[in-house]
Amino acid sequence: MKVTILGAGTAIPARDHSPAGLFIETGGERLLFDAGPGTLQRLHAAGGNLFTLERIFLTHYHLDHCLDLASLLFALRIPGRPPRAPLTVYGPPGLKRLYRRLNHALNGWLAPRHYALRLKELKEATVKLRKATVHTRWMRHSAPALGYRLEAEGKRLAYSGDTDACEAVIELGRDTHLLILECSVPDERKVEGHLTPTECGRIAAAANCRHLALTHFYPVFKGYDIRRRVRRAFRGRVTLARDFTSFTL
């Protein structure tokens, strides 16, 4: 399983920290989790191919996590492309409404041509892929938001998307080889619906994950020792992600 973080930041521009996106190649499938602004370009830069992308999983519908869905669907309409396999997009309830409104606002230019587009709204569920399984749990955020757990090739990965501390995110990351958590703000500037470094450390320790990767950093972290705060509770491997940070599990 190859994992590439396409965006380790937020909607606020910051060097090496773009809006959310996660590209995973496993079991012969290519999966995209979240699609913040610029994800399509970073997918290309990371060696991905939008024309062979098969599944997109959106955690929620804040713009820094989903805006490039429109860019991707528009690009797939380019004339002259050969027919491709269906594209399936998953997300919490509201996905179909989001697509209809975007397509209407953009004069129908997101409607599929030469391929089938499947929109699947999820709550807490299990999705069987060809050689992998995805489990979803509700996260604690300011909008309905899902976290995703991927099990494939004997490996376990969890991606929180945006969340506050909750029991569900601990269960999502339980005994994972890689737990990818948002880490938005310093402990001293806690914002409801988002995690701080100390909270991330506690979650990782409670979940007994092997490797913790942190993303979704706001620029307020400049000069702040994130790792030291995480280490208050978690003694496993820690990665502070940047755009294009990658892992092989």
C-alpha to C-alpha distance for 135 and 158, rounded to whole angstroms: 9
Q: 68 an active-site residue?
A: no
Scan for tokens 């310093």, then name that residue: 186
246 touches 209 (CB < 8 A) = no
Give the H/E segment covering residue 229.
helix 226-230
Contacts 24+ apart (CB under 8 A), 198-203: 198/229, 198/230, 198/232, 198/233, 199/165, 200/230, 200/234, 201/229, 201/230, 201/231, 201/232, 201/233, 201/234, 202/165, 202/233, 202/234, 203/165, 203/169, 203/170, 203/173, 203/179
Which residue out of 34, 64, 164, 243 is catalytically annotated? Answer: 64
206 touches 198 (CB < 8 A) = no
C-alpha to C-alpha distance for 209 and 186, rounded to whole angstroms: 22
C-alpha to C-alpha distance for 214 and 178, rounded to whole angstroms: 10
Q: List active site positions.
A: 64
